[in-house]
Amino acid sequence: MPNRIGRYVIELPTRPEIISWGSAVGKTESEGPLAAHFDICYNTDKVCDGTWEECESQLAMDAINKAFNKAGKTFDDADIIFAGDLLNQCAASAFAVRSTDIPFAGLFGACSTMALSLALAALSVDSGAARLAGAAASSHFCSAERQFRFPLEYGGQKTPTSQHTVTGAGSVLVSDAKNGMPYVKNIMIGRIRDLGIKDANNMGAAMAPAASCTIADFLRDTGTTPADYDLILTGDLGVVGTELLHELMLTREQTDITDVHNDCGLMIYDTETQDVTAGGSGCGCSASVLTSVILKKIMRREYRNILFVATGALMSTTTAQQGNSIPGIAHAVQICMD
Amino acid sequence: MPNRIGRYVIELPTRPEIISWGSAVGKTESEGPLAAHFDICYNTDKVCDGTWEECESQLAMDAINKAFNKAGKTFDDADIIFAGDLLNQCAASAFAVRSTDIPFAGLFGACSTMALSLALAALSVDSGAARLAGAAASSHFCSAERQFRFPLEYGGQKTPTSQHTVTGAGSVLVSDAKNGMPYVKNIMIGRIRDLGIKDANNMGAAMAPAASCTIADFLRDTGTTPADYDLILTGDLGVVGTELLHELMLTREQTDITDVHNDCGLMIYDTETQDVTAGGSGCGCSASVLTSVILKKIMRREYRNILFVATGALMSTTTAQQGNSIPGIAHAVQICMD
């Protein structure tokens, strides 16, 4: 039964286990440094015969299918699935989950969705509301470009601070079974932080204050320091946001996280050689990185204690065009391995 | 601690109480049959100086503020708030919650959002993850028209099966305190139902199968019949969807719910005299009806046992334009009063 520690952290004493996970990615991700770790690597972003939006749904389905298959579970074994994405009305997730017939709680956390879905899935299992709960998130470069910026055919140029939306998806299954798998120790739902950034091509800057706030709150509530973690993994701050996070943590929180921090947006691409401007972003970024190399390393006990902090920018093209600033949020999940 | 009963229903044995609620609505709703029950009735849809989207955020803020004020609580007393809306990237909720500094879990359930947010808020409290949890949902006729159909200036004509998006919002506070207030007995997260409806001007038809499925599952899991409830209240099926729901329940489930059923989309307007085609819709429809007349009647013990089943159509303009059918979903919350 969940138990609040400090002001914001929720401890999950039953230690719900992440019994399996699946990831599926597109072409650019399959050419990046994590290629060997993904379950499914497409050599194209056109991963099905349909539209870009249907391709995104396909990636989400692939990741969900993979997680169930690896665990030897059927959809009927699951009590609930939490999922979300960046598309208007979270359509990619709804169309992906539609065929599974699993009770579906749709989420919107922008690029923080993988942490939000995993946190709520783990909470459901810890509380007894679910025995087996799914979590998933997805994004697609081409559906995101069309929706948030310009159709690909337009050939728009990118600014150096902009990030490249990951074509990919990730899914995990959380269970009340005790099999010595990685488990969720603590979760934390983040608060919105908005320091007035209005540049929709600089999401890293918009999200860094939220990441800093969540990490600082989490450390304070749990009475831990960065040195207690093998890895503090942010969602998709990219090159610009990562620098800002380090600075904010140092100047505002007097905490140096540089030794244990990495960012999914930096890991998924080689920002030196791949044409991805300031790194990866999108719900699929932290989702696919967590459900590939990270959980693999936790299984191998290369990491025994990580803090996963996915970050999201809660804006729309409408709010940006209307001159509003970009609210940022970051949710945290502590994953451990005995 | 939550407890699964049957296949889909989650019982909340601690009986988390709905300690307060707030509602705010626009002009058409203020001229409708429920006017006397809303907390805040604007005589215009331009409820603030900003854009239509900002007006929707204002309504959500109004409802949230009202719920906190009535309970004598500050935002700092809340451990989490679940909220969502129909705008792209759920922007109305994010901008409303931004100033509260409450940990924010964004949801997307289309017009089912009020049931989803209330269900998860009650689950959080029952499980111990939160002592005080908020839930909210909003919609606005003008922001929805612009986003889903045409800008108002275009003067588009409506088809008779189309519904009128409610300009309104509702919010509740769920607490672990024991004060003899209405309480949440059971919750149920719905499964997606899609019978191939592609007419975006007939949401009632798209959502009726999901409502039927959720109500039938709920009755089966709890071993109850419609006669056990003072009211089975669907979200916003309107005239067309209500007829279809009654028919589906009779023919597919051999269950007659007509004696105890009502629909928020039928209640909020006078469909005979107000120009609202087939009735109300939008996240704000079931949100504002629940948090006004319904909870008031539960407080007065006119109802002692209701099943609140908000329904949502999980489509976007993009999926509709691409020729996809409309997935429906319905989540259920049983609210009781001793």
One domain for residues A63 and A140: yes
- The verdict on a CB contact (< 8 Å) between B3 and A190 is no
Cβ atoms within 10 Å of B131's Cβ, excluding its own: 17
Domain-located, residue B124: yes
Q: Would you state the structure tokens that stand for residue B125, as one six-digit string?
A: 């409290």
Residue B152 has pLDDT above 90, yes or no: no
Domain-located, residue B88: yes
Q: What is the mean pLDDT of residues A179-205?
A: 95
Q: Which of A150, A175, A200 is the last residue of a domain?
A: A175
Burial of residue B86, with CB atoms counted within 10 A of its CB: 0-12 exposed, 13-18 middle, 19 or more buried: buried
Residue A115 has pLDDT above 90, yes or no: yes
- CATH code of the domain containing A73: 3.40.47.40
Residue A149 has pLDDT above 90, yes or no: no
Q: What is the mean pLDDT of residues A161-185?
A: 96
pLDDT digit string, tens, across residues A229-283 = 999 999 999 999 999 999 999 999 999 999 999 999 999 999 999 999 899 999 9
Q: Which of A111, A141, A175 is the last residue of a domain?
A: A175
Beta bridge partners of A40: A24
- The verdict on a CB contact (< 8 Å) between A128 and B3 is yes
| Residues of chain A neighbouring B89 (CB-CB closer than 8 A) | 86, 88, 108, 110, 314-316, 319
Beta bridge partners of B104: B81
| Residues of chain B neighbouring A87 (CB-CB closer than 8 A) | 316, 318
One domain for residues A69 and A112: yes
| Residues of chain A neighbouring B80 (CB-CB closer than 8 A) | 189
One domain for residues B125 and B222: no
Residue B160 has pLDDT above 90, yes or no: no
Whether the complex's predicted ipTM surpasses the cut of 0.95:
yes
Residue B167 distance to chain A (closest CA, Å): 18
Determine the Cα–Cα distance for residues B307 and B299; give it in Å rounded to an integer: 15
One domain for residues A105 and A52: yes
Determine the Cα–Cα distance for residues A222 and A224; give it in Å rounded to an integer: 5
Residues of B (283-312) whose Cβ lies below 8 Å from A? none
Amino acid at residue number A178: K
- The verdict on a CB contact (< 8 Å) between B127 and A131 is no
User: Given A91, A189, A322, which is nearest B316 (Cβ)?
Assistant: A91
pLDDT for B1: 83
Residue B94 has pLDDT above 90, yes or no: yes
Domain count, chain B: 2
pLDDT digit string, tens, across residues B232-287 = 999 999 999 999 999 999 999 999 999 999 999 999 999 999 999 899 999 999 99
Q: What is the mean pLDDT of residues A291-303?
A: 98
Strand A80-85, strand A104-106: pairing: parallel
Residue A193's pLDDT band (cuts 50, 70, 90): very high
Q: Which of A119, A150, A175 is the last residue of a domain?
A: A175
Burial of residue A238, with CB atoms counted within 10 A of its CB: 0-12 exposed, 13-18 middle, 19 or more buried: buried
One domain for residues A205 and A252: yes
Domain-located, residue B50: yes
pLDDT for B299: 98
One domain for residues B28 and B116: yes
Residue B104 has pLDDT above 90, yes or no: yes
One domain for residues B163 and B195: no
Domain-located, residue B8: no
User: Given B98, B106, B194, which is nearest A109 (Cβ)?
Assistant: B106
Residue A191 has pLDDT above 90, yes or no: yes
One domain for residues B150 and B252: no
What percentage of chain B carries pLDDT values higher than 70?
100
pLDDT digit string, tens, across residues A9-31 = 999 999 999 999 999 999 999 99
pLDDT digit string, tens, across residues B57-92 = 999 999 999 999 999 999 999 999 999 999 999 999
Residue A160 has pLDDT above 90, yes or no: no
pLDDT for A152: 85
B204 CA to centre of own chain: 14
Q: What is the DSSP letter of A197?
A: -
pLDDT digit string, tens, across residues A304-336 = 999 999 999 999 999 999 999 999 999 999 999
Q: What is the mean pLDDT of residues A287-310?
A: 98
Determine the Cα–Cα distance for residues A288 and A268; give it in Å rounded to an integer: 9
pLDDT digit string, tens, across residues B179-219 = 999 999 999 999 999 999 999 889 999 999 999 999 999 99
Q: What is the mean pLDDT of residues A294-298?
A: 98
What range does the domain containing A276 cover?
Answer: 183-336
One domain for residues A50 and A104: yes
Cα dist from A137 to A50, A182, A230, B114, B248, whole Å: 20, 19, 24, 22, 33
Domain-located, residue B163: yes
Q: What is the mean pLDDT of residues B302-327?
A: 96
Measured at the CA of A9, the angle between CA A177 and CA A85, to 5 degrees, comes to 70
Nearest CA in chain B to A51: B322
The average confidence (pLDDT) of chain A is 96
One domain for residues B148 and B189: no
- The verdict on a CB contact (< 8 Å) between B319 and A124 is no
Beta bridge partners of B187: B10, B333
One domain for residues A249 and A273: yes
Residue B155 has pLDDT above 90, yes or no: no
- The verdict on a CB contact (< 8 Å) between A314 and B191 is no
List, as one string, the DSSP characters of A215-270. HHHHHHHHT--GGG-SEEEESS-HHHHHHHHHHHHHHHH----TTTEEEHHHHSS-
Residue A76's pLDDT band (cuts 50, 70, 90): very high
Q: What is the mean pLDDT of residues A289-318?
A: 97
Domain-located, residue B1: no
One domain for residues A298 and A189: yes
Residue B149's pLDDT band (cuts 50, 70, 90): confident
